[in-house]
Amino acid sequence: MQLLFGLMLQAISATPPETIDLLAPQPCVPPGPTDGEIVVCARRSDGQSPYRIDPTPPARSDLPKAEVQLADGINASAETESHDVGGFPSKRAMVRLKFKF
């Protein structure tokens, strides 16, 4: 019963169906003589940058540091990171214990 309810929720969506353009793109004309060079003149239909790798966003320094003192000389801190691993984002959280000696 729960599986049927889940399938019904998945089938009913508030977003309109996505349209897919199956027309072949028109060949582009190179801007000038190519002299054997390869010219790529494709554009993305969604308006995003044609480059796959986006620039790294600047680090945010306006957030306070998540650190707490547990006892005299013992601190705990938490951090989050996000890196690209093989084209997929890897999001991770780290908890660190620091002992002063």
pLDDT value for 87: 80
pTM of the model: 0.34
Tokens of 64: 């306070």
Alpha-carbon dihedral of residues 14, 20, 21, 24, nearest 10 degrees?
170
In whole angstroms, give the CA distance from residue 64 to residue 91. 20
List, in sequence order, the alpha helices (H) in the chain: 2-11
Does 50 score more than 70 pLDDT? no
- pLDDT (tens digit, 9 = 90+) per residue, 73-94? 999 999 888 888 888 888 888 8
Max avg pLDDT among 25-29, 34-38, 77-81: 77-81
Helix, strand or coil for residue 5?
helix
Which carries the bigger pLDDT value, residue 72 or residue 42?
72
